[in-house]
Structure 1
Amino acid sequence: MSRNSSPAAVQIGSNIANARKALSMTVDQLAVASRIDSSNIRSYEAGRAMMNVRSLVRIAEALKVDPGVLLDGVVSEMFVTSD
C-alpha cells in the first residue's frame, strides 16, 4: 500500500464511502462484512492507501455492488508512478 495519495486512491475511496453511506452502513459494519480491518477501510476511504484487487472485490461484495462501481471515474493517468 502506498503512503502517497494518488488521485485514483482518492476517487476509489470516495466511491467506497458513497456506496457505504447509501446503505446506511458504518465503517465498522463494512469492515466486518468484508473481513478487512476498519483502520484499512478508513485509510481507503480517505485515499491514503490503495487496496489490492482482492480487497476491492471483498469490499464490493460487502457493499453489494459490482467492483466496477468502485472504479467509476478512475483513469490510468490518476495513478502516481515513479517513472
Structure 2
Amino acid sequence: MDIFTSAAAKALGERLRERRESLELSQEDVAHLAAMHVSNYGKIERGLANPSLHTLLRIASVIEVDPGVLIAGLSGEMVTSRPHKLTAGELIRARQQI
C-alpha cells in the first residue's frame, strides 16, 4: 500500500464496488445519481480518495445502503499518517497522573 492510501479507504472502496456491482450499476450511473464526477467516484472506489460526509451520504442513498454499513469495523488504526496511537481516555488519565 502506498503513502496515499489507507486500509480504511481501501475497505470502503471495496464495499462500494461490491454493492454497486450487485445492483448491476456502472460507476457512471452511481456518480451521476450522486451528483458527482465519475473520476471522483472511481477514486473513492479504488481507495485513492476520501469522500466527505455529505458525499458518502449521497452515495449511500443512491446505492440504497445504510452509511453505517459502509464504515462498520473501520477504525483510526486503519488510517495512514496518524501521528500517535493515544485515545482521549489515555490522554485524560495521563494528565491526571501529572
Task: Name the TM-score, length of structure 1 as normaliser.
Answer: 0.90
Q: CA deviation at 1:79?
A: 1.1
Equivalent-residue separation in structure 1 for 2:18 and 2:12 (angstroms): 10
Gaps of 5+ in 1: none
Equivalent-residue separation in structure 2 for 1:34 and 1:82 (angstroms): 30
Q: Which residue of 2 aligns with 1:43?
A: 43
Write out aligned runs for 1:8-19 (5 A). Answer: 8-19=8-19
Over aligned residues, Cα RMSD in angstroms? 1.3
Q: Which residue of 2 aligns with 1:54?
A: 54
Q: CA deviation at 1:18?
A: 0.6
Corresponding letter in the other structure for 2:35:
R
SS at match of 1:68: helix
Gaps of 5+ in 2: 84-98
Corresponding letter in the other structure for 1:21:
E
Corresponding letter in the other structure for 1:29:
D
Q: CA deviation at 1:82?
A: 4.5
**Which of these two proteins has the greater Rg computed from alpha carbons?**
2
Percent identity, please.
31
Q: Which has the higher contact order (CA 8 A, sep 6+)?
A: 1
